[in-house]
Amino acid sequence: MGVHENKIQESLKELRMDAVDFALLAKINRTILSAAFRGRHNFSGPESLRLLDLIDELKALADDAFPFHLSFKDPAHIERLLDMRKEGIRVFCQFGPIEKE
């Protein structure tokens, strides 16, 4: 497995997001994503960058929701949250400084 594919897989574990849901959200074939995680496919440079950018956006959503856990089980809902975030709309409240573990 390539470096980018490994980073994507590790990030999905960290976010507790299923690879199938990520594939739907990223609009990539889940078979290709599965092959990448097994080391049988490497994403192209632009594709890797697009997927890593999406991972960064998902992590930012999770950070916005902290200290609460954001479920990534509904790709359509997550896509709406990402679109809102891009428009500058934050749907999570900040309660003041809370330290992460």
pTM, entire model: 0.85
Residue range 40-99, pLDDT digits in tens: 999 989 999 999 999 999 999 999 888 888 999 999 999 999 999 999 887 775 555 545
CB 18 within 8 A of CB 73: yes
24: confidence class by pLDDT, cuts 50, 70, 90? very high
Structural domains of the chain, ranges and CATH numbers in brackets: 3-86 (1.10.260)
pLDDT, position 65: 87
Distance in angstroms (rounded) separating the CA atoms of residues 73 and 24: 11
